[in-house]
Amino acid sequence: MRQSNRMIRQCLDGMPEGGFTAKVPKVLRPPAGEVYAAVESSRGETGIHLVSQGGDTPYRFHYKAPSLAVLQALEEILPGHLLADVVMIIGSTDIMLGEIDR
């Protein structure tokens, strides 16, 4: 804890003076184009795909949850197992059905 306290104090001493917030417009207009970003989340890699034509709203926005890939893999994993085993296999994959439901 002493070392953590020392590191925090070093960060605070090195922090520049002045404001720390930025002025952000109420409406963000991304430039026209297409972008895909992969972000690490608690259950795996989350994919975000955005297509913009330069307007106020995106032309297309898709959010790919990591639970979907795991759920699709269950089709290959589950055949041949007993029903009691299926419950344990699904529980061990840590699927969040709320991600898949949308």
| Cα distance between residue 70 and residue 96, in whole Å | 10
More confident residue, 4 or 58: 4
pLDDT, one tens digit per residue, over 13-72 is 988 888 778 888 888 788 899 999 998 887 788 889 999 998 888 899 888 888 888 888
Domain, as residue range, for 95: 22-101
Measured between alpha carbons, how far is 83 from 90 in angstroms, rounded to an integer?
A: 11
- The answer as to whether 17 is a domain residue is no
13 within some domain: no
Q: Is 2 inside a domain boundary?
A: no
Give the per-residue pLDDT at 102.
Answer: 60
pLDDT at 100 over 80: no
Give the per-residue pLDDT at 27: 83
CA torsion, ordered 50, 51, 55, 57, to nearest 10 deg:
-40
The number of distinct structural domains making up the chain is 1
Whether 6 is in a domain gets the answer: no
33 within domain boundaries: yes
At residue 3, the pLDDT reads 95
Which amino acid, residue 99?
Answer: E
Q: Is residue 1 part of a domain?
A: no
Tell me if residue 62 falls in helix, strand or coil: strand
41 closest CA partner among 60, 61, 69, 77: 69
Determine the pLDDT at residue 31.
Answer: 87
